[in-house]
Structure 1
Amino acid sequence: MERINLNSAMDSCLPLLFSLLIGVVASNAALLPAQVYWHTVLPNTHMPTAISDLLSSDTVMDSKTGTYVYVGKGGVDVNAGTGKPGSTTVGVGKGGVHVVAGQGTPGGTTVGVGHGGVHIVAGKGTPGGTTVGVGHGRVDVGAGNGKPGSTTVHVGPGGVSVNVKPKYGKPHPRVTVGPFSYNYAATEEQLHDNRQINFFFLEQDLHPGSKMNMQFEKRNDAAKFLPRSEAESIPFSSKKLPEIVSRFSVQPGSDKEEAMKETLRECEDPVLKGEKKMCATSLESMVDFSVANLGTKNVEAVSTTVHSKDETPRQEYTIVASGMKNLAQDELVACHQQTYAYAVFYCHLAKSTKGYTVKMAGKDGTVVDAVAVCHADTSAWNPKHIAFKLLNVKPGTVPVCHLLPQDHVVFSRNN
């Protein structure tokens, strides 16, 4: 009988065992913690793209040094925070290379090289430095002079335009309250913003054959979700804004800081009568809020989906025959993505509300599976809200409807 060398057999089997172990680990690691939580709490609920697109493929952050590394579909981002406001960041992605050399103080130099050309910001250590952008058929110059009120000059195909930014204390020109915050009055900018005004309509206009002129835009700068443990360790308060801005190396006085400030203000505002709300700083907290307020784990989650790889133009869309489906009526949880350093959603329980999925076809053939929400009771809304201005109706008189952009989510009880 042939004798078997056990040591030799084990040596030959070890590589196979290690391969099997690696395969098991890899298959488990394919799901991120937030995905595992979703599938555990909501096992029968499909995750909409508005959420799955915001899950980081690989995120590592050292809280002591402030260094943040993200590896995802769009490339690699490194933020060497060193715990100070003026950190160095490097981003390598589809758009090219972006470098921010903060030099230890806010307002450092930034250089971006991408498809659009070259963009340089010479901050000189203070907010409001000079910016120069050279791109396809255009030149942009921003002369901040280190002061809050900066001047920008744009030379392009359409001619020359000059924009003088206001001083601190006046409304920021690029930051407006979202149209889905119902306790705010409409601004002049909102009333002339075609991206917002056509999203509102009356319920009587929601039927097959109805035509709407609009553009479905998708945010390309949307921040990713942080792990719940990390998000909960970071202050989320207007009082802590300087600390938050420093932590994420956001330049003081920048558009992004102003937008973050507005997000915090909306999150801290009192709720409307009969409303429940929260700002979800993680996917897990969004799931918890939705389940708690709908009273069930058997929920449906939907978001607007545009079936096109390219940006779609502003055009006429028609609701197709048999293209409407009712979601559970009366109570819905709507979550609206905010502008922030990481993914934050303004979620609120909307009562006396109807939800629909609506299939629409554009003139160019683009198909959109849109989400529409109709509010039967608007009596608690601000009388000067943009919806009343556009539709020429008064609060509490008729149901007001709107479509949702692609980066918003609606949760409802599953029919």
Structure 2
Amino acid sequence: MKAPSPCINPYHYSSLPSESVTAILLMDSFLPLLCFLLIGVIASNAALPLLPAQVYWHTVLPNTHMPTALTDLLSSDTVMDSKTDTYVNVGKRTTAVGKSSTIIGPLVYSSAATEKQLHDNRQMNLFFLEQDLHPGSKMNMQFEKTNVTAKFLPRSEAESIPFSSKKLPEIISRFSVQPGSDEEEAMKETLRQCEDPVLKGEKKMCATSLESMVDFAVANLGTRNVESVSTTVHSKDETPKQEYTIVASGVKNLAQDELVACHQQTYAYAVFYCHLAKPTKGYTVKMTGKHGTVVDAVVVCHANTSAWNPNHVAFKLLNVKPGTVPVCHFLPQDHVVFSGNN
């Protein structure tokens, strides 16, 4: 039987907001031509075979570069589950830029500051004010390498696996995760975050495949002409904590007010907590470290923090009150931001 074309039915319309369907239908009128051109490129260059998820990305987002944070998670391996007796290494990780217990992601708004967070973050500028984002500004940072090895599953496979706290025993059995282990606890926390209610004015989903991440970004930004960025540290080795200086012309605006940020979670396979929060501003920032490290960092500034926990670590560190000034933070290397392409 002939395999279906990867360009057939790229959207799952039933899962998208109704206000986005009209725009998507208009965009889909150009899809056959894009598919024809893309398949021609693949056929003419057998040395560069694309995985189905890559084909999907380049079909839906033909003008968008895929960040390394995502390409590193693609794999042509077969699905890892108990049927093949393959243990999935969930691993331990922290979604912080440096050695800090402050979480950048779904809990950033609701968490109250702990003494450890205050102690750790006083040593670094994890949170800062938007007025400090300019060439010549100096910040103490450490951009740690990520150690998560979980890969994206094919969409069809991911959608066939339960993703619910109620199904956790079945899930950990499938992936040979030891009950009561740190790995199970990490997966339980990810599911809890994904199932938590959203804040007012926010839209969210947990993307269990690259394709579902693309769908969420396109549906909520209302365009396929998007930019996708992630923090990149230009060093093969672990970089020490150091003072970074923003270089001349090193601050670039992303489209303002609407950004989709996707934060990688700890799970048996790649899962991203994606959300659209308004109003936000995004920037890419080039910095050089005192020890020579060059970083192209992604910064998100939250213009309205009135719904955040008044005891959040950012307010304690910056000595400001909720809703008074925009609060900015860097994103780790394994997080991704989508924005409309100016």
TM range (shorter): 0.7 to 0.9
In the aligned structure 2, how far is the partner of 1:193 from the partner of 1:55? 33
Asked whether the equivalents of residues 177 and 262 of structure 1 are also in contact (C-alpha less than 8 Å), the reply is no
Q: Which residue of 2 aligns with 1:42?
A: 61
Asked whether the equivalents of residues 123 and 140 of structure 2 are also in contact (C-alpha less than 8 Å), the reply is no
Asked whether the equivalents of residues 190 and 196 of structure 1 are also in contact (C-alpha less than 8 Å), the reply is no
* 2:269 partner SS: coil
Equivalent residue for 1:191, pick from 118, 121, 124: 118
* 1:251 partner SS: coil
Q: Structure 1 residues 265, 190: closer, same or farther in 2, change over 3 A?
A: farther
Asked whether the equivalents of residues 212 and 316 of structure 1 are also in contact (C-alpha less than 8 Å), the reply is yes
- Determine whether 1:410 maps to 2:333: no
* 2:189 partner SS: helix
- Determine whether 1:225 maps to 2:152: yes
Q: Structure 1 residues 54, 260: closer, same or farther in 2, change over 3 A?
A: same
How big is the shift at 1:189? 3.9
In the aligned structure 1, how far is the partner of 2:242 from the partner of 2:184? 33
Larger strand share, 1 or 2: 1
* 1:393 partner SS: coil
Q: Which residue of 2 aligns with 1:396?
A: 323
Instruction: Tell me which amino acid in the other structure corresponds to 1:40.
Output: T
- Determine whether 1:334 maps to 2:268: no
Q: Which residue of 2 aligns with 1:66?
A: 83
For structure 2, list consecutive stretches of 5 or more residues without a partner in the other structure.
Answer: 1-41, 90-100
Equivalent residue for 1:179, pick from 88, 99, 104: 104
* 1:256 partner SS: helix
Which runs of structure 2 are paired with 1:216-295 in the superposition (5 Å)? 216-295=143-222
In the aligned structure 1, how far is the partner of 2:171 from the partner of 2:73? 20
- Describe the superposition over 1:278-301 as per-residue Cα deviations: whole angstroms up to 9, x where unpaired: 111100000000000000000000
How big is the shift at 1:389? 2.3
- Describe the superposition over 1:142-201 as per-residue Cα deviations: whole angstroms up to 9, x where unpaired: xxxxxxxxxxxxxxxxxxxxxxxxxxxxxxxxxx78333212323444334459963211
* 2:46 partner SS: helix
Equivalent residue for 2:133, pick from 173, 185, 206: 206
Instruction: Tell me which amino acid in the other structure corresponds to 1:179.
Output: I
Instruction: Tell me which amino acid in the other structure corresponds to 1:66.
Output: K
- Describe the superposition over 1:65-110 as per-residue Cα deviations: whole angstroms up to 9, x where unpaired: 621xxxxxxxxxxxx15xxxxxxx499xxxxxxxxxxxxxxxxxxx
In the aligned structure 2, how far is the partner of 1:29 from the partner of 1:212? 41
- Determine whether 1:31 maps to 2:50: yes
* 1:27 partner SS: coil
Q: Structure 1 residues 391, 184: closer, same or farther in 2, change over 3 A?
A: same
Q: Structure 1 residues 379, 31: closer, same or farther in 2, change over 3 A?
A: same
* 1:244 partner SS: helix
* 1:59 partner SS: coil
Report the TM-score when normalising by structure 1. Answer: 0.66
How big is the shift at 1:329? 0.6
Which runs of structure 2 are paired with 1:131-170 in the superposition (5 Å)? none
Q: Which residue of 1 aligns with 2:3?
A: none
In the aligned structure 1, how far is the partner of 2:73 from the partner of 2:136? 34
- Determine whether 1:384 maps to 2:311: yes
In the aligned structure 2, how far is the partner of 1:407 from the partner of 1:62? 22
Instruction: Tell me which amino acid in the other structure corresponds to 1:54.
Output: L
RMSD: 2.4
Which runs of structure 2 are paired with 1:70-109 in the superposition (5 Å)? 80=85, 89=87
Instruction: Tell me which amino acid in the other structure corresponds to 1:191.
Output: L
Q: Structure 1 residues 273, 219: closer, same or farther in 2, change over 3 A?
A: same
- Determine whether 1:366 maps to 2:284: no
Q: Structure 1 residues 26, 52: closer, same or farther in 2, change over 3 A?
A: same
Instruction: Tell me which amino acid in the other structure corresponds to 2:327.
Output: V
How big is the shift at 1:351? 1.2
In the aligned structure 2, how far is the partner of 1:395 from the partner of 1:36? 43
Using the aligned pairs only, state the percent identity: 82
Higher relative contact order (CA 8 A, sep 6+): 2
Asked whether the equivalents of residues 213 and 316 of structure 1 are also in contact (C-alpha less than 8 Å), the reply is yes
Equivalent residue for 1:349, pick from 276, 280, 286: 276
Report the TM-score when normalising by structure 2. Answer: 0.79
Q: Which residue of 2 aligns with 1:315?
A: 242
In the aligned structure 2, how far is the partner of 1:44 from the partner of 1:365? 32
Q: Structure 1 residues 405, 62: closer, same or farther in 2, change over 3 A?
A: closer
